[in-house]
Amino acid sequence: MLRLFRIYRGTDQEGKYFDFEIEVDPGMVVLDAVHKIQGKHALDLAVRWNCKAGKCGSCSAEVNGHPVLMCMTKIDSLPKDQPIIIQPLKAFPIEKDLVTDVSWNYEQNKKIPPFTPCAKCRDKKKQESSKKIDDNWKFYQRDVIRSQEFRKCIECFLCQDVCHVLRTHKKHDSFFGPRFFARIASLEMHPLDQADRIDLLHQKAGLGFCNITKCCSEVCPEKIRITDNAIIPLKERVCDRFYDPVKWIFRKIFKNEK
């Protein structure tokens, strides 16, 4: 069956869409078609990919306007009476063709305080180690489950791309995005962590810009409930600290005394 593919080629400064018509087989995914176009029609077409199993997050792109992993998007699932439009992620600078520069994400990651166990936990761990007892952290299984979900993230950055704060409003200088709210949640919800990231969320991370559309959860290939299980609980913690009237009074008193 012949299908028409319309692929963006170029950079941020200059680029346009090119049409390619190729024969597709049942069960083919979009990445298969891109490779076929690479092999027969556009040898220099730039595309990033690795595992082709939906686990590396490399082949992120927009297909018919929706952020997806090309290796997990079946051609049969797309409208047959329309061209299949493939373009790079809109939230990040284009390097070439379908390849974007996502290094901004790793810079935001550096701003998040790492896992910091409490001093009592460290002392207890040292005592147990000296006595040659079990040298592992101990906490409830429910606490493991609560933070474990966020560790499934493959950093495909589809959630970053679909978020209107980054995609449309370009607030990269004041907003970390859903992926890093999920990472902060995994640390904040860890029962042994003592680092305070609430001020970071309220100020530099820009959590207040998120208006709970749940679009990040919808595009996540790992089905992480970013909005329900990460963003909303973090918003509640921010509200407790900065907008609870009783706590606000205590902060004012403490500030005045200082």
Q: Is the pTM of this model over 0.95?
A: no
Average confidence (pLDDT) over 171-199: 94
Long-range contacts of the stretch 209-213 (C-beta < 8 A, 24+): 209/165, 209/169, 209/171, 209/174, 209/175, 210/163, 210/165, 210/178, 210/181, 210/235, 213/164
126: confidence class by pLDDT, cuts 50, 70, 90: low
- In this structure, the answer to whether residues 168 and 180 fall within a common structural domain is yes
Q: Give the CATH number for residue 155.
A: 1.10.1060.10
Chosen domain end from 79, 100, 121: 100
Residue 254: predicted pLDDT: 73
Please state, rounded to an integer, the average pLDDT across all residues of the chain: 91
Kindly state whether residues 16 and 143 are assigned to the same domain.
no
In the structure, what pLDDT confidence band is assigned to residue 121 with cuts at 50, 70 and 90?
A: low
H or E element at residue 16: strand 15-23
Contact 100, 93 (CB under 8 A): yes
Shared domain for 194 and 95, answered yes or no, is no
Same domain, 134 and 172: yes
In this structure, the answer to whether residues 67 and 191 fall within a common structural domain is no
pLDDT digits (tens, 9 = 90+) for 46-56: 999 999 999 99
Q: Does residue 79 sit in the same domain as residue 158?
A: no
Which CATH number covers residue 53? 3.10.20.30
Residue 24's identity, in one-letter code, is V
**Residue 257 pLDDT level (bands cut at 50, 70, 90):** very low
What confidence tier does 104 reach under pLDDT thresholds 50, 70, 90?
A: very high
Please compute, for residue 102, the number of CA atoms within 13 A of its CA located in the half-sphere on the CB side: 23
Per-residue model confidence (pLDDT) at position 92: 97
Using the 3D structure, point to which of 100, 128, 150 is the last residue of a domain.
100
Segment among 32-46, 70-84, 86-100, 119-133 with least mean pLDDT = 119-133
Is the pLDDT assigned to residue 16 strictly greater than 60? yes
Closest CA to 234 of 188, 192, 177, 195: 188
DSSP character at residue 190: -
d(CA 207, CA 209): 5
Task: Look up the domain containing 84 and give its range.
Answer: 2-100
- 107 shares its domain with 96: no
